[in-house]
Chain A
């Protein structure tokens, strides 16, 4: 049974945003033009006090914020960490974000945190397990959460479902929303040899609340999701296909390494806007 408050409606589209990173703190406050909203990494602000929370308040006063976590381990088999959830809840009360998201993955077992987004085996067993935990988290936070598809490199021998089928079914069973990382779809499609458009077709449009766009690194055989380069052409193409399918969805550039000047990220955001807006107007 879903006990999330049914009065909670799907949040609005926020436009075009950036992942908030320390390197751009001051510049973002001085020159916020072109950035409609910001995504914070939740764990970076789940701290008792000091400078991180001072900056957070400054951004909260200037931008709509969303929270994006990396350690929920929704697919993990250790019990959900109540201490973590309490801190996440406290941060959400403080930030009042438009939404809270994390990843469809597991991050460790038996108390260990690998600090990586480990893909799940796409099996019925995992499906039951994850959907139940998503409902538990949503009840605890009293809000729907968004789950993001991760880039994956490993294949489980006993997979029963395609990744997009698994994602769609978790979202349906748990009544949660989806953060669709377009780059991750591209990376996983390349690494596992499926058509990324089939992935987009399999994801329920009414549950897609946010897009991530990012760059990657092409290895000898596999592509690695590095977030250290500009969004490449094939990912922009896939983004256009996603906008055609899902309509107006809050879009964000995610950059974590080889951090360029803010102006470069704003230019990429402007590119996303130029690609998406004509498609949205044509569909209107």
Chain B
């Protein structure tokens, strides 16, 4: 086993290497030399990872343009795939772009990768039910204060300083690439799956705070207090009701949990 292990490691290193050298354990013959034979695996390795990443990161591809292939090569060299599913090689790309030069100087690249990856992971996240308006209508008035709204577990928030979501929308619709715009303060983008379709939209500070509180398991009474802090006097309940209606229509709430006390 030790020989086999050492052999596999040397062949693997040769497949992943940028140089065309072949380890001595590999032989050539009259048909082809060892180097040409190994080259098929070396080419295939990089081509497969590039193709898979290209499929998973359309926002980043659009944003980075002609720099995209070089960016992928650097990532492939720095972070080999460790997952049985080729698609999951992209899990570390956003983090890589946040620290690796020169891309960390273009923070929109990491944001683009983060958005693409959030969409990708929502796509086949675990299935959960979503409540409808009838479920809310059945709650007795005295039970609302202690009621907990449970958002979908796969829901993700992104903090974006750039308009990478516009790049994703354009890429999905095969539309013209927009201009990159940067904001002084970040805005929050919500990514989730409704039935089988992945959706994303910007959320304001009030809605963001309320959804986060719901995710933490805060009761409805606490949501009302948070809403009051974000609305003019007398408007909080109406705003919260409007948001709640939107959340239910968008399939964001998976269950209602009554107060157990």
Using a CB–CB cutoff of 8 Å, the interface residues on chain A facing chain B are 43-44, 46-54, 71, 76-77, 81, 84, 106, 108-116, 118, 121, 123, 125-126, 129, 153-158, 191-193, 221-222, 224
Contacts and interface: CB of A to CB of B under 8 A. Distances in A.
B196 interface: yes
Contacts of B41: 114, 116, 118, 153-154
A154 B34 contact: yes
B123 interface: yes
Interface in B1-54: 1, 3-5, 7-9, 11-12, 15-16, 24-32, 34, 36-38, 40-41, 44-45, 48-49, 52
A70 B28 CA distance: 27
8 contacts: A47-B85, A118-B15, A121-B4, A123-B4, A125-B4, A126-B4, A157-B25, A191-B31
A157 B80 CA distance: 27
A224 B44 CA distance: 10
B45 A51 contact: no
Contact of B27 (A47, A125, A156): A156
Nearest to A130: B4
A77 B4 contact: yes
Nearest to A47: B124
A114 B128 CA distance: 34
B148 interface: no
Interface of B: 1, 3-5, 7-9, 11-12, 15-16, 24-32, 34, 36-38, 40-41, 44-45, 48-49, 52, 80-86, 123-128, 193, 196
Interface centre among B8, B30, B128, B196 (most CB of A within 10 A): B8
A123 B28 CA distance: 18
A48 B126 contact: yes
A222 B29 CA distance: 12
B9 A110 contact: yes
B175 to A, nearest CB: 23
Contact of A49 (B34, B49, B85, B125): B125
A52 B193 CA distance: 14
A193 B9 CA distance: 27
Contacts of A129: 1, 4
A77 to B, nearest CB: 4
A43 B36 CA distance: 30
Contact of A153 (B37, B49, B124, B193): B37
Contacts of B38: 153-154
A121 B124 contact: no
Contacts of A222: 31-32, 36-37, 40
Contact of B83 (A77, A113, A121): A113
A62 B196 CA distance: 21
B84 A84 contact: yes
A105 B20 CA distance: 23
Contacts of A77: 1, 4-5, 8
A48 B84 contact: no
Interface centre among A106, A116, A191 (most CB of B within 10 A): A116
Given A47-B124, A50-B193, A153-B37, A112 B26 contact: no
Contacts of A108: 12
B47 to A, nearest CB: 10
A109 B9 CA distance: 6
A48 B126 CA distance: 4
A154 B8 contact: no
